[in-house]
Amino acid sequence: DQQVKQNSPSLSVQEGRISILNCDYTNSMFDYFLWYKKYPAEGPTFLISISSIKDKNEDGRFTVFLNKSAKHLSLHIVPSQPGDSAVYFCAASASLQAGTALIFGKGTTLSVSS
Amino acid sequence: DVKVTQSSRYLVKRTGEKVFLECVQDMDHENMFWYRQDPGLGLRLIYFSYDVKMKEKGDIPEGYSVSREKKERFSLILESASTNQTSMYLCASSLGFGNQPQHFGDGTRLSIL
């Protein structure tokens, strides 16, 4: 059973507008969440993370929001740029459980048109 | 910056061959990981290692083994390659578990004919 779900396989946005990528999780032990960006033929690149003690983390154009009660997080990109076109993976971990690896969602392909 | 280097970007092998994929990291990270990425399936964990000579199975270890003789190097071995192992293979490393990001290499696109 999928513990981390990205229910939208794809998202299309115009340049300059906001992109919102969503992620849901089922394991209440998860307390650390990350977003990765992946271009074709490259490895995923770490983008931004958030700990469960926070509900928001911001880094430039990227903001991650966490709603623990809903077991939901989202990544906002404002303003979106054509170079943001990539696959975005949500990942989660239970940091207090020793030896556990990140659990990844299946990814959302973002297309930003100019 | 963390550098994770995978020995080959593209590799073509034949069914039944024993295949070695090599990964080296230069940041003295304790943890190393092997994933495969397939369309519509995301990143699936094959094996990981939290110390030299230590290994743990991930979600899809069947048909694979790993070796970690030195801290900086983590090898993935396909014991007898099959066509369903054609995939993008990604290596990653991290300083710790839970609250540390993993850093990825550029991947190896492996084709089994």
Contact between B98 and A105 using a beta-carbon 8 Å cutoff: no
Does the N-terminal peptide bond of residue A79 adopt cis geometry, omega within 30 degrees of 0? yes
The pLDDT of residue A77 is 98
Answer whether A100 sits within 8 Å of B98, measured CB to CB. yes
Concatenating the DSSP letter of every residue in A35-64 gives EEEE-TTS--EEEEEEETT-SEEEETTEEE
A43 touches chain B (CB under 8 A): yes
Q: Would you call A32 and B98 a contact, using CB atoms and an 8 Å cutoff?
A: yes
Q: Rounded to a whole number, what is the distance in Å from the CA of A39 to chain B's nearest CA?
A: 10
pLDDT for position A97: 63
pLDDT at B98: 63
Mean pLDDT for back-to-back runs of 10 residues, chain A (114 residues): 91 98 94 94 92 94 97 97 97 74 91 96
The confidence score (pLDDT) of residue A101 equals: 77
For position B84, what pLDDT does the model report? 96
Q: Cβ–Cβ of B98/A104 closer than 8 Å? A: no
Which are the contacts of A68, defined by CB distance < 8 A and separation ≥ 6? A52, A55
Could you list the beta-strand ranges (E) of chain B.
4-6, 10-13, 19-25, 31-38, 42-49, 56-57, 64-70, 73-78, 87-94, 103-104, 108-112
Quote the pLDDT of residue A99. Answer: 60
Residue B51 has a pLDDT of: 87
Q: Rounded to a whole number, what is the distance in Å from the CA of A78 to chain B's nearest CA?
A: 23
Residues of chain B falling short of pLDDT 50: none
Residues of A within 8 A of B50 (CB-CB) are: 99
